[in-house]
């Protein structure tokens, strides 16, 4: 019937059903499909709903954010990938973890920082610049300290109080430092801290509850250099910091080198001029003095002695990390 109206006497047909012809003698338009027959080409399959669709659905409550599983954002800095290899699904191909370039990140450490201890213990050690002061016919080391001489052992917290130290545990018989072998010549362990310091620095140590200073002196195989290393145990981290602040290095207010026997190559270490390095960890002050074996100052060896002094801090620091 013109206008799309159904022919009189014809029952309305549901959408999609074959249309009745406008005249009784006109054939039906469309296809008649038997149940289960495949869908012909060019004909889109219609979704199939049960007779009572409402009976097959249920209400789903909202899921709280705490209970919801987390998902990576594809647009994040890791590209939607798991950060660690162990988080990737098993059997997944291709790149399964995010790659992060750390080469341009500033780690906050200056060029003087060094990694000394095993097991990823990180030490931040500030060196001292050596200056020679001559007084009364004797040459003494004067060290001008750099800022921030804390030694940070990342593998654990710094102790709050010192423990008793043993020279046998701290100072090995031989060590290799800066490409040279060194042998232990003498050690000293004292609870009279004033005897192991120059000038009024001994009083400063006593005023800050210094309970022990252990020292050792090493001599190079070729006897070209000698090094005194040591650890001072103060009452607390705050007192160790106060001791560091009170150093009057311009007046030789620092730790004294440990003299060796005649002919040892360290017989002038108590008055030798050289290069000193130091670090602080918890209640401990760690120090190292490198000098020529004859005790004389040689400007041509300044860089060499600086390297030896700084690298020699490994000896007491490594042992201290193992002992405490």
Q: Which residue has the tokens 């990140």?
A: 105
pLDDT score of 136? 32
Q: What is the rounded CA–CA span in Å between residue 87 and residue 67?
A: 20
Contacts of 132-135 with CB under 8 Å at 24 or more apart are 132/273, 132/297, 133/250, 133/251, 133/252, 135/252
How many Å from the N-terminal Cα to the C-terminal Cα in the chain? 103
Q: Domain residue spans in the chain?
A: 126-323
Burial of 39 (0-12, 13-18, 19+ CB in 10 A): exposed
- Spatial CB neighbours of 183, under 8 Å, sequence gap ≥ 6: 173, 174, 218, 219, 221
Do 10 and 1 meet the contact criterion of CB atoms below 8 Å apart?
no
User: Tokens for 205?
Assistant: 């140590």
Give the pLDDT of the chain (324 residues) as one tens digit per residue: 545 555 555 555 555 555 555 555 555 455 555 555 565 565 444 444 444 433 333 333 333 334 333 433 334 433 443 433 344 444 444 333 223 232 333 333 333 323 233 332 223 333 443 333 333 333 334 343 333 355 554 345 788 999 999 999 999 999 999 999 999 999 999 999 999 999 899 999 999 999 999 999 999 999 999 999 999 999 999 999 999 888 775 677 889 999 999 999 999 999 988 888 889 999 999 999 999 998 888 888 989 999 999 999 988 988 888 877
Tell me which DSSP letter residue 296 carries: -
pTM exceeding 0.75 = no
Q: In the prediction, which pLDDT does 6 show?
A: 52
**What is the structure's pLDDT at 224?**
93
Helix axes 314-323, 302-312, angle to 10 degrees: 10
| Tokens linked to 184 | 């232990």
pLDDT for residue 11: 56
Token reading at 165: 């130290």
């Amino acid at each position: 019937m013109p206008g799309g109206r159904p022919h009189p006497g014809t029952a309305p047909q549901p959408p999609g059903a074959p249309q009745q012809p406008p005249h009784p003698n006109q054939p039906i338009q469309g296809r008649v499909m038997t149940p289960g027959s495949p869908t012909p080409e060019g004909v889109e399959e219609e979704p199939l709903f049960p007779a009572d669709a409402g009976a097959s659905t249920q209400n789903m409550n909202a899921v709280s954010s705490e209970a919801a599983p987390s998902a990576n954002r594809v647009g994040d800095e890791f590209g939607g990938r798991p950060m660690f290899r162990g988080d990737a699904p098993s059997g997944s191909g291709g790149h399964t973890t995010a790659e992060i370039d750390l080469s341009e990140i500033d780690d906050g450490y200056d060029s003087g920082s060094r990694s000394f201890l095993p097991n990823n213990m990180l030490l931040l050690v500030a060196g001292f610049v050596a200056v020679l002061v001559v007084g009364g016919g004797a040459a003494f080391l004067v060290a001008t300290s750099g800022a921030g001489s804390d030694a940070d052992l990342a593998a654990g917290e710094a102790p709050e109080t010192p423990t008793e130290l043993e020279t046998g545990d701290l100072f090995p018989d031989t060590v290799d430092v800066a490409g040279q072998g060194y042998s232990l010549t003498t050690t000293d362990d004292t609870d009279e801290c004033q005897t192991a310091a120059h000038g009024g620095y001994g009083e400063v140590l006593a005023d800050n509850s210094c309970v022990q200073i252990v020292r050792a002196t090493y001599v190079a195989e070729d006897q070209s250099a000698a090094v005194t290393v040591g650890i001072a145990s103060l009452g607390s981290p705050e007192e160790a910091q106060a001791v560091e602040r009170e150093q009057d290095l311009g007046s030789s207010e620092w730790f004294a080198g440990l003299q060796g026997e005649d002919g040892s190559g360290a017989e002038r270490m108590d008055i030798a001029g050289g290069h000193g390095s130091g670090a602080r960890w918890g209640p401990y002050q760690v120090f190292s003095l490198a000098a020529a074996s004859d005790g004389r100052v040689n400007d041509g060896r300044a860089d060499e002695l600086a390297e030896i002094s700084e690298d020699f801090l490994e000896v007491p620091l490594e042992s201290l990390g193992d002992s405490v």
